[in-house]
Amino acid sequence: MKFLLSFCCVLCFVFNSHAQLGYDLIEKKHEPQALRKDIDLLRRTLEKHHPNLYRYASKATLSARFDSLKRSITKPMSSIAFFSNLSAVLSTIGDGHLSLSVDLFRLSQEEITKYAKLIRDPIGQFEYKVIGKRLYIFKNLSKDSTLVPGTEIVSINQVPASMIIDQLFGVITADGYNLTWKYHILNDNNVAGLYRAVYGNQDSIALEIKDDNMDKKYVPVKSYPDSTVLKQPAAKVSAVKPMLNDPEVKYLKVNSFLAASDSENDFKGFFKVCREQQTKTLILDLRGNTGGELYKAIELFTYLIDTPAYFGRRPEELIRNRIMPSLNEIRERQIKYYKETGYASLPMPQADRFKGKLYVLVNGGTFSAAALLASNLQGQKNVVFVGEETGGGRNGCTGGLFELLALPESKLNLRYGIIPFNLQKHSATEGRGLMPDVPAIYRINEFLTGKDQEMDWVMKDIKQKKPGSN
C-alpha cells in the first residue's frame, strides 16, 4: 500500500501546523511521565486492534521492549528523539505498513521560515547510497566541490558508517526480517532525515572519507545560514527506458496500483494488443511499486494466469469470530473489504491472458500489493524473476484498511493496518520477501551511471534464446 512514511516526516519534520504545534514537535521537551502515557496508549491500541501483532515477535519479547523503553525515559525528551526511540520498538513487530508520523500539511509560513535551517544542516547537504554496510555520497549540494559523488564515508563524527546504518535500520519498519525494504527507504533520499531523528540536529559534522587513493581523511561540514540552492553538479542518472525493437517483446512498467494510476494502467487495452500482435515475451517491471489498491493487482493477475487461482485466503479465524471478537465494527469492516476487493474469491483468467514467456523485475521497493502479485506468480513455469528480494513479505502482510492513533503528548501519529493478508502459495521461509531467480547486486558506480542490471540481463537472455542466435 502507498502510505506516508515515518522517516519522511522526520526529514521534513518542520512541516506541520500552527506555531505551537511546531514548537511541541521540535523544541519542547516532554516530561517522561507524559511520554510513558503515550507508550501505554499505543501499546494498548495495538494489542486490541492489530491482527498480526505477534507474528514475528512473541508477546513476551514485545512487552519487554515496551517496558524497557519506558524505563529508559528518565529525562525530558523532544518529539523527534521520542520518535526515534519508539520507532525502534515498533520495528520489532515486523509490519512494514506500520508507521509513526506527523501531519505535514498545515505548517504556517512563519514556521517554515523559522525551521528551514533543518534542510540546510550538514547532513542534509548530500544525498547518499547505502550498499551493504557502506555509505557513499550520491549527490553533493555542499560548498565543498572536492566531495564528489561516489566518495565513501567511513564515519561521521567518529561513528563508523556500519554502526550508523544499523541504527537507521533499527527505526524502519519492514515485513518480518526483510532488509531490502530498508535499503530501498534509505536509498530513496531518506538517510539525512533518519540521521537527524537518531542523532539529533547538528551545526557541524566531521566526515571521515576515502579518497581515490583509498587514503582516509577528515572533512568538516558546517551548516550554511542562507537559503541559496547550491549548484554543485551531481551524478547524472538517467531513467533507463528499454528500447525494444522486437515486435514480439513487450514491456509493461507498473509504477503503482493506486486508483490515481488507472489511466496509465490500462491492462485490458495492453493485453488486447499483446494478443493481436502475438506477443511472445513480456517484461513486467514491478520495481519501486509500493502497492496500492488490491483489486488492481488482482486484475493484472487475471491476465497472467492460465487456470483459476486464488490470489490469497481470508483467515478462517476472522470468519469464526476469533480475531478481535469484541471489535465487531472493525471485524465487519475487514470482512467487507475482503468481499469488495475480491481477495477471497477465485480469480478467473481473462480471455486475452498472456501465454508467453514472462520476466518479472522486482526489488526492495516492490511492496504490499505489488509484492503479493509477484508472490502469487512464483512457481509458474513461464515466469522468471530478476532483481532483488521483494521488500514486501512473500507470505503476506497486514494492511488494506488503516486506523490512525494520535498520541496526545508527543503529537506523533500511529498508522496501522487491520487486514491480515495470507497467500495460498505459502513459502517455508517465513519473514522474507520473494527471492529472485536471477539476483541483481548494485555497486556505487552502477548507481552513479544509472546502469540497469535487470534489463541488461533480460535483454541478453531474450537475444540468446531467439531462434538462430549464436
132: left (phi over 0), alpha (psi -120 to 50) or beta: left
Nearest to 392 by CA among 258, 259, 253, 291: 291
Contact 421, 400 (CB under 8 A): yes
Cell reading at 251: 514491456
CATH code matching the domain that covers 119-222, chosen among 3.30.465.10, 3.40.1260.10, 1.10.3720.10, 2.30.42.10: 2.30.42.10
Fold of 249-465: 2-enoyl-CoA Hydratase; Chain A, domain 1 (3.90.226)
- Buried b / exposed e over 67-102, threshold 16 CB at 10 Å, is eebbeebeeebbbbbbbbbbbbbbbbbbbbbbbbbb
The neighbouring-strand residues paired with 99 are 415
pLDDT one digit per residue (tens) for the chain, 470 residues: 333 343 333 334 333 334 465 666 677 899 999 999 999 999 999 999 999 999 999 999 999 999 999 999 999 999 888 999 999 999 999 999 999 986 655 556 676 666 665 556 899 899 999 999 999 999 998 888 889 999 999 999 999 999 999 999 999 999 999 999 999 999 999 999 899 889 988 889 999 998 767 778 888 888 765 544 344 444 443 333 444 567 789 999 999 998 765 556 689 999 999 999 999 999 999 999 999 999 999 999 999 999 999 898 777 777 666 666 667 788 888 888 888 888 878 899 999 999 999 999 999 999 999 999 999 999 999 999 999 999 999 999 999 999 999 999 998 999 999 999 988 888 888 999 999 999 999 999 999 999 999 999 999 999 988 776 65
The CA distance from 385 to 363, in Å, is 10
The CA distance from 66 to 18, in Å, is 31
Measure Cα distances from 255 to 259, 278, 434 in Å: 12, 25, 18
Measure Cα distances from 74 to 35, 69, 70, 166, 201 in Å: 10, 10, 8, 24, 21
pLDDT at 260: 64
User: How far separated are the first and last CA of the chain, in Å rounded?
Assistant: 44
Q: Which amino acid is at 20?
A: Q
What global pTM score does this model have?
Answer: 0.88
The CA distance from 173 to 451, in Å, is 29
| Chain centroid offset of residue 323 CA | 27
Contact 330, 367 (CB under 8 A): no
Measure Cα distances from 83 to 14, 75, 105, 412, 450 in Å: 14, 15, 19, 8, 34
pLDDT at 11: 36
pLDDT at 467: 72
Contact 104, 16 (CB under 8 A): yes
The CA distance from 263 to 206, in Å, is 48
Measure Cα distances from 51 to 5, 102, 303, 311, 322 in Å: 21, 24, 31, 20, 10
Listed by start position, the domains of the chain span: 6-116, 119-222, 249-465
Q: Long-range contacts made by residues 276-279, C-beta under 8 angstroms, separation at least 24?
A: 277/247, 277/248, 277/250, 278/248, 279/247, 279/248, 279/249, 279/250, 279/354, 279/356
The four Cα atoms 42, 186, 137, 237 give a dihedral, to 10 degrees, of -140
| Chain centroid offset of residue 19 CA | 31
